[in-house]
Amino acid sequence: MQEVMAKIISLAKRRGFVFQSSEIYGGVEGLWDLGPLGALMKKNLRDFWIKRFVLEEENIFLVEGTILMHPKVWEASGHLEHFTDPLIECKNCHFRYRADHMVAGRFIGQGKAEEKNQCPNCGGKEFTEPRMFNLMFKTFLGPVEDKAHLTYLRPETAQSMFTNFEKVLRTMRAKLPFGIAQTGRSFRNEITLGDFIFRTREFEIAEIEFFVKPGEDERYFEIWLNKWEKFFLDLGIKKENLRRFEHPKESLAHYSKRTVDIEYKFPFGWQELAGVANRTDYDLKRHSEFSGQDLRYFDEEKNKKYYPYVIEPTVGLERIILALLCEAYQEIPGGRTKTTKPTKEIEVLLKLDKKIAPIKVAVLPLVKNKPELVKKAKEVYQMLKPYFVCQYDELGSIGRRYRRGDEIGVVFSATIDFQTLKDDTVTIRDRDTMEQKRIRIPELGDILQKALEGEKFLKFG
Ligand code: GAP
């Protein structure tokens, strides 16, 4: 399975989805940049998330909080005290590891680690006692680098949704139940990295704090767990590749009454993709206590004030990107073309969901040495470009260009050939079925729009 992962990583790097950050200087562990295709994919993902959970919901409000916040936030939230992992150090080479990862045998097969509790760097078997290491990155607000100016890069986006709870309530005239949603960069000084973009030190979280009446929390937990899971199914992930993991009491975060992870079957095993937590009234209570502001909700029906409970569905966008790349990656030995002799090569198809695929349409002149074809293809490209993310490609045979597009999940290809010059039609090819149709150029925009929205391609024959 690691072989498949290596191929997916190679494709992601080679075709512009993901690059190692600062690679010209040797790279930095746990930091990855998104290349042109990865950045578009993430934008599509974020847009779909906002559409699903803000635009299509009636009572969820989008906010955008700052990454740096008042240091007291992290005291109140409990992160200063509890956002830690157990750290151990190899007594021989002084490399550091997460103790729970070492005990679980995570490093077996890496470097010199042949068994549990063995250092992958030097093979040593003696470690220091675990000490708790706080994962928050420190920084200073202003030019004075002393304790009074110390703050942290946020490790989750949740906190600005709690500190703005009363403002959203008031400005939006919200009533329970309602939610606050946010996507944004988060930072964790993770001890153990690896598995490509699965666990990184900087990533984007998309999460909702959904405030409910106390006593209704358990019901809303189930509702959100189902909605959250459906979101991943609607991104094209197969049901059999998702499962739920109920956290036992002892592994719950300090704020949680119940947490269920949605796990994905990555090539390197079942791992957390997303989560839903019942944060109770912990955060609002703590921020009231630490700030001296009353963050209770006034219930007009009951004529009393109380702290709402919070259900929090959360996910990291890069982790979804990795899951979608794994889910979409297919190898077809000998290729899919039945009309010509099969090649010996393995063809790669990245069957990304249409709404998430970074490139929607490739515009291809049949050959590049006929100026009239190239001119027409460029006109079609210019016509479609403002409405769809398009790619113009004239290099190599048409079959090669189709395959190059399939490898990055280009949804449709529009080929401009000699017939185009006669009757103003182009050949549209569907990535998944390889079905081809001739379509009149003036109708192309409408037809592609509908096909991308999910109407059956065939209908437009
Ligand atoms: N506010 C709750 C919260 O932050 P979390 O489970 O710690 O919960 C949320 O993180 C999501 O962020 C996870 O479900 C996962 O998808 C993603 N995530 C967590 N740590 C990550 C890391 N180091 N690198 C990439 N994604 C990460």
CA dist 92 to 124, 131, 250, 320, Å?
6, 18, 32, 38
The pLDDT tens digits along the chain (461 residues) read 679 999 999 999 999 999 999 999 999 999 999 999 999 999 999 999 999 999 999 999 999 999 999 999 999 999 999 989 899 999 999 999 989 889 888 888 888 999 989 999 999 999 999 999 899 999 999 999 999 999 999 999 999 999 999 999 999 999 999 999 999 999 999 988 878 999 999 999 999 999 999 999 999 999 999 999 999 999 999 999 999 999 999 889 888 999 999 999 999 999 999 999 999 999 999 999 999 999 999 999 999 999 999 999 999 999 999 999 999 999 998 888 766 565 667 899 999 999 999 999 999 999 999 999 999 999 999 999 999 999 999 999 999 999 999 999 999 999 999 999 999 999 999 999 999 999 999 999 999 999 998 766 545 43
- Name the residue of 242, 245, 314 to mutate for ligand 1: max ligand atoms within 8 A of Cβ: 314
Q: Is residue 174 within 6 Å of ligand 1 at its C-beta?
A: no
Q: 3-state DSSP call for residue 79?
A: helix
Q: Is residue 190 within 6 Å of ligand 1 at its C-beta?
A: yes
CA dist 112 to 3, 115, 120, 297, Å?
20, 9, 4, 56
Q: Is residue 366 within 6 Å of ligand 1 at its C-beta?
A: no
The CA angle 224-285-309, to the nearest 5 degrees, is: 20
Q: Is residue 100 within 6 Å of ligand 1 at its C-beta?
A: no
Closest Cα to atom 8 of ligand 1: 314
**Of 347, 329, 351, 330, the residue nearest 338 (C-alpha):** 347
**Of 290, 221, 264, the residue nearest 70 (C-alpha):** 290
* DSSP, res 194: B
Cβ burial of 171 (10 Å; 0-12, 13-18, 19+) is exposed
Sequence-ordered strand ranges (E) for 304-424: 304-306, 309-316, 329-333, 346-350, 361-365, 390-392, 412-416
CB 88, CB 191: distance < 8 Å: no
Phi/psi of residue 294, each to 5°? -80, 110
Determine the residue type at 398.
I
In b/e form, how buried is each residue of 26-49, taking b as 16+ CB within 10 angstroms? Answer: eeeebebebbebbebbbebbeebb
**Which element (helix H / strand E) includes 229?**
helix 217-233
Alpha carbon distance 287, 74 (integer Å) = 10
Closest Cα to atom 7 of ligand 1: 156
Closest Cα to atom 25 of ligand 1: 199
* DSSP, res 421: H
Q: Is residue 319 within 6 Å of ligand 1 at its C-beta?
A: yes
Q: Is residue 98 within 6 Å of ligand 1 at its C-beta?
A: no
Q: Is residue 124 within 6 Å of ligand 1 at its C-beta?
A: no
The pLDDT of residue 32:
97
**Of 382, 41, 439, 413, the residue nearest 404 (C-alpha):** 413
Q: How far apart are the first and last CA of the chain?
A: 41
Closest Cα to atom 4 of ligand 1: 156
Q: Is residue 327 within 6 Å of ligand 1 at its C-beta?
A: no
CB 174, CB 153: distance < 8 Å: no
Q: Is residue 177 within 6 Å of ligand 1 at its C-beta?
A: no
Alpha carbon distance 456, 458 (integer Å) = 5
Q: Is residue 347 within 6 Å of ligand 1 at its C-beta?
A: no
- Name the residue of 101, 198, 228, 319 to mutate for ligand 1: max ligand atoms within 8 A of Cβ: 319
CA dist 400 to 80, 171, 242, 404, Å?
55, 56, 34, 6
Q: Is residue 271 within 6 Å of ligand 1 at its C-beta?
A: no
Cβ burial of 249 (10 Å; 0-12, 13-18, 19+) is exposed
Q: Is residue 360 within 6 Å of ligand 1 at its C-beta?
A: no
Specify the pTM.
0.93
CA dist 308 to 76, 230, 259, 270, 277, Å?
17, 26, 18, 34, 15
Q: Is residue 205 within 6 Å of ligand 1 at its C-beta?
A: yes
The pLDDT of residue 460:
44
CA of 209 to the centre of ligand 1 (A): 15
Closest Cα to atom 3 of ligand 1: 156
- Name the residue of 21, 162, 203, 270 to mutate for ligand 1: max ligand atoms within 8 A of Cβ: 203
**Of 9, 5, 67, the residue nearest 35 (C-alpha):** 9
CB 283, CB 77: distance < 8 Å: yes
CB 96, CB 190: distance < 8 Å: no
Ligand 1: atom nearest CA of 188 is 23
Q: Is residue 323 within 6 Å of ligand 1 at its C-beta?
A: no
The pLDDT of residue 336:
82
Ligand 1: atom nearest CA of 274 is 14
Q: Is residue 310 within 6 Å of ligand 1 at its C-beta?
A: no
The pLDDT of residue 461:
39
**Of 203, 93, 215, 443, the residue nearest 460 (C-alpha):** 443
Q: Is residue 279 within 6 Å of ligand 1 at its C-beta?
A: no
**Which element (helix H / strand E) includes 43?**
helix 36-50
Ligand 1: atom nearest CA of 275 is 14
